[in-house]
Structure 1
């Protein structure tokens, strides 16, 4: 009974108004994503646009991560297809790559000219710390959604810590970590839901 008032209290989710809205939104999303777009995608799609709930985002991001290719492209394909079919999938991907590609080509030409400058090299190393901070902040924002996870917070936390240890400290291949720990997570969630 307590789940009913929470669901009723949550405002309904929005959806993209048109293919143009989808294209422009994904273009702006991609242009903000220096050093990785996870933080930007979550903020824009869940918090600002309200096109997805936090739980939907986590589920779709998990699927996007286990598929081959860039995570945000996979998410764009799934999101665009859900709202506009194949045209939405193509539009979302076009939004993600068109202007960023032009920008990267221009920056590559500029970087080729100034790559030997130690100030430029130092600035790029500093951006690595910013990217790590963005990813950490997004991970922390996703923690409240674990309360609704079928496995519960403790088991989800254990799998998260094991994944971190396997990838960051043991330097195991990501594919194996996804297969083993992801498989364990799927089986445990399936058993709890059954």
Structure 2
């Protein structure tokens, strides 16, 4: 029972103190489940993150599903998901109740304007960490740059970018990397 409580509180804390969505939660989830609690290994976290990004739904929920299931099975999965969802649900409920009163409050607008740069930096951190873990190979950096430009400049749907990156990764690791293992 104690481990369920730890799992719930870990994901509750992450869900309660993260502003900006699932990608902002990634460094916090990694720190909690890999470094602090040691529930999963770093390599396993990277693989879990890839699956969590590929699966439909919010990455924070998908991560909670994988970590919860890995640590305590079905009960752990439910516990971790509830820990992640409850803080957001409560905040959204409170905001909805008082939204008309705070909608055009200049102080609230300034608070959110001040939070934006922090959110952007928290999204950049996982990208940089993943690049470091991949060894900054020219292939990975090129693929990431092409994907970002395709979405940002040309308006290509992220679905097509993810599919193309997946196919490219399979081709690269199935044929090119086998023929040239030093790359």
Q: Does 1:80 align with 2:68?
A: yes
Structure 1's consecutive aligned runs of 4 or more residues displaced over 6 angstroms after TM superposition are none
Deviation at 1:121, TM superposition (A): 1.9
Deviation at 1:53, TM superposition (A): 3.0
Q: Secondary structure at the match of 1:42?
A: helix
Q: Is the 8 A contact 2:131 2:140 kept in 1?
A: no
Deviation at 1:61, TM superposition (A): 1.0
Q: Does 1:23 align with 2:8?
A: yes
1:1-194 residue pairs with structure 2 within 5 A?
18-36=3-21, 37-147=25-135, 153-191=137-175, 192=177
Partner of 1:4: none
CA–CA separation in structure 1 for the residues paired with 2:153 and 2:110: 26
Unaligned ranges ≥5, structure 1: 1-16
Unaligned ranges ≥5, structure 2: none
Deviation at 1:193, TM superposition (A): 6.1
Q: TM-score, normalised by structure 1?
A: 0.79
Alignment size in residue pairs: 175
1:65-118 superposed Cα distances (whole Å, 9 cap, x missing partner): 111110111111112112222111111111111233113312333333111123
Range that drifts further, 102-111 or 87-96: 102-111
CA 135–93 in structure 1, closer or farther in 2 if over 3 Å, else same: same
Partner of 1:7: none
CA–CA separation in structure 1 for the residues paired with 2:100 and 2:120: 25
Q: Secondary structure at the match of 1:18?
A: helix
